[in-house]
Structure formats: structure tokens, C-alpha cells
Amino acid sequence: MRSVRSAAIHLADLEPYDPKYLPARIYLNANENPYGLPLQAQQILQRQLQAGLNYHRYPDPLAHELRSRLAFDLGVEEREVLLGNGGDEILFNIFLAYGGPGRLMLSVPPTFSVYTSDAQVSGTQIVEIARKVDGSIDEAAVLARVVEGDIDIVMIASPNNPTGECARTDFLHELLDATDALIVVDQAYVEFSDSQADMSRYLSQHHNLAIVRSLSKAYALAGIRLGYLIASFEVITQMMKVRQPYSVDSFSALAGLAALEAKEQMLRNVGLMIAQRQRVQEALRAMAGVRVFASDANFLLFSVPGASVIWQQLYDRYGILVRDFSATPGLRDCLRVSIGTAEEIDEFLLALTALLADAEMTTRAEKDG
């Protein structure tokens, strides 16, 4: 049997992306919408499917109907919107179009790890400027670095994943004015924010602005894989050159349209999650030894002594899955909990309270011994 030759050299030190999936009783690890697709959207989609879907035909290459609807809702031109197979495809295509060997991407870790993996796969060099202890961006350092003129892509998640805070809008304007690099503002969680401006309104002022959005979070379509880019026609044109044909299938396009029709219900569900987020934040702050990061997303990052042990016990004893970030540089002893239903949050808070009490008793016993 013949062996296969080695893969590309730059893949040698890379690890596949690991979503940390485990079977669980309660999932609070992936920032999903716990309420699912609103009933109105489900009914619309069912009617469309009953009317018949041409499974034997290729989909509309650009999903024009959904693209047009998004553009209308956003107040931009249709040619300034591009759909993709989830926000992940959009992000990867950005690196194909604007990254590559000899080009530089600036990121502000800790942040979404996919930026780094996409840069590595595409051969893009990485420049990192660490966030401050409170999770905020070191704005002065970022601005000082981009004015050197060699940065090609700047990645800013706002709200940031996994810390949850938004970049200041004034800072984003300064950044856009300071360079001709492509400034990518990843707004996958923007619907959960009261403070983050809708950056699409500034598109006409900044041709180097690219906004990534997702229908996975607020719109509860994580299982569909549907995201979109808002950018100048110049940027969209370059992205069209690298995108995969037919990356948005017919069913996904229909699901996206149905979800947009149920926007009012979506906003109500988002309101419920924001209220739950506030409740969790207050409860965590009241727990001894726990530090909570401010969040404008549908999750909360918090530090707790022995985080990895707590994570394991939440899973083993209670079947509750959260995300462990304690091994991530800058996030020592940090866990991230997604905002679930009120019942799921009740169970999480009770479990965490019990585990912290057990840990305190163990510590006291060891001291007394």
C-alpha cells in the first residue's frame, strides 16, 4: 500500500479547531439561543417546505432574496452584503482575500481563537497586542502599531468572545481613520448589546470597514450555518473571488428569511436572555472568590479558584457543560457560561454554589488538619 505524501508544511504545528463538544444534560458552553427558532419562523418555514423545494436544483448562488432582505433591514445596498456558510466561512474568506504569505493580521487576545487559526492556515503572519487585565483593548498600543503601515487586517470582536465587552465606537472610528488596513468588526453577538453601535451605518464613511454578523446566536440558527458580511462594494468584490460557489444552500436561505420575519419574537427572546444575564452576573458577584467580567453578549466570563476542577465537577456531578478557558493566556482560572433558560440558569447557580461550598469546607479541613 502506498503512503500519502506530507501535507503543506505550514500545517505541521497546527491543531484542528476543537469545539469542546461533550454529551451533557444542560448545554451552557456554546453561546446558543436556548429558546430555539420562534414558532412564527417555524411555521413559515414549514409552509415553504410543503410548497416544495427543488432539491435537485442548485441554489441561488448569492441567495438574492435573503441578501436583498438583509440589505433593506440594514439600510445598505444589496451589493454591500454577502452571505456565507456561517460567520466562520466569512472570516476564513477574509484571510484568503486580504491575508496570505507576507501579510500581517493584528488581533487583541484573548479573543475568538478562529482568527489565529485562519491566519495560520492562510499563511498570514500574526501580530498580537494583549488586552488589559479588565478585558478592554489597549487602544493606544493598537493605534500606535497600525500607523506603522504594515498591518493588512485588524480583527476586533465586539462584543468580544470570550470576555464579552464591546470596543468603544470612538476607538473604532480612530482605528478606521488611522490606516487603510481592512478593519474587521465581528459583531456576532451585537443583538445582545445595549452599548455597541450598529457599525453598518458608518459604511459610507469608511471603505476599509468590514462587519461580520451571524444568524446563529440571536436568530437561533446555529444548526443552519448562516452568516453575512457588510462591507463596501470594493471589499465584497474581492471576497467574491475567493468564496466557494453555492456555499449557502436553498434550505438555509429559506430558514434565514423565516427567521427575519420573526424578528419581533427574536427581540423578545433576546430581552429574556439579557435579563437572565443580569441575574447571573449579580449572583456570581455575590459568591466569594468569584470575579465576573462585564458582558454585552449572551454569556459571562468569570474567574473562580480551581476553575478546571469546578468545570469537571459541574459536568460529572450535575451534567452541566460550560466552557473552560483557564488554559488560555490571560484567562487563568476562567470559565464561560452561556445564558440559558431560567430553569437552566437556576440549576447552574445551585450547582456552582454547592461546589464552592464544598471547596471551602475542604480548604478549612486542610487548614485545621
- Establish if 368 belongs to a structural domain: no
The answer to whether residues 94 and 232 belong to one domain is yes
pLDDT digits (tens, 9 = 90+) for 332-362: 999 999 999 999 999 999 999 999 998 776 6
Residue 10 pLDDT grade (very low, low, confident, very high; cuts 50, 70, 90): confident
Residue for cell digits 485562519? 118
- Establish if 47 belongs to a structural domain: yes
The answer to whether residues 203 and 250 belong to one domain is yes
Residue 19 pLDDT grade (very low, low, confident, very high; cuts 50, 70, 90): confident
**In terms of Cα–Cα distance, which of 258, 261, 247 is closest to 59?**
247
C-alpha to C-alpha distance for 30 and 33, rounded to whole angstroms:
9
The answer to whether residues 252 and 279 belong to one domain is no
The answer to whether residues 114 and 210 belong to one domain is yes
The whole-number pLDDT of residue 367 equals 67
End-to-end Cα distance, the chain: 63
The answer to whether residues 51 and 90 belong to one domain is yes
pLDDT digits (tens, 9 = 90+) for 133-172: 999 999 999 999 999 999 999 999 999 999 999 999 999 9
pLDDT at 275 over 90: yes
- Establish if 6 belongs to a structural domain: no
Average of per-residue pLDDT across 106-115: 98
- Establish if 14 belongs to a structural domain: no
The answer to whether residues 169 and 65 belong to one domain is yes
Does residue 314 contact residue 322 with C-beta atoms inside 8 Å?
yes
Instruction: Using CB atoms within 10 Å of the CB of residue 162, give its burial: 0 to 12 exposed, 13 to 18 middle, 19+ buried.
Output: buried
- Establish if 366 belongs to a structural domain: no
Number of domains in the chain: 2
The whole-number pLDDT of residue 261 equals 97
Q: Which residues contact 285 (CB under 8 A, 6 or more apart)?
A: 292
pLDDT at 75 over 90: yes
The answer to whether residues 268 and 246 belong to one domain is no
Residue 323 pLDDT grade (very low, low, confident, very high; cuts 50, 70, 90): very high
- Establish if 369 belongs to a structural domain: no
The answer to whether residues 203 and 286 belong to one domain is no
The answer to whether residues 252 and 301 belong to one domain is no
- Establish if 7 belongs to a structural domain: no
pLDDT at 244 over 80: yes
The domain spanning residue 345 has which CATH number? 3.90.1150.10
Select from 214, 246, 261 the last residue of a domain.
261
Select from 234, 261, 288 the last residue of a domain.
261
**In terms of Cα–Cα distance, which of 222, 275, 272 is closest to 86?**
222
**In terms of Cα–Cα distance, which of 262, 192, 273 is closest to 28?**
273
The domain spanning residue 166 has which CATH number? 3.40.640.10
The answer to whether residues 218 and 320 belong to one domain is no
Asked if omega into 159 is within 30° of 0 (cis), the reply is: yes
Domain span including residue 94: 39-261
The answer to whether residues 118 and 221 belong to one domain is yes
- Establish if 51 belongs to a structural domain: yes
The whole-number pLDDT of residue 364 equals 63
Select from 201, 227, 261 the last residue of a domain.
261
pTM score, two decimals? 0.95
The answer to whether residues 268 and 139 belong to one domain is no
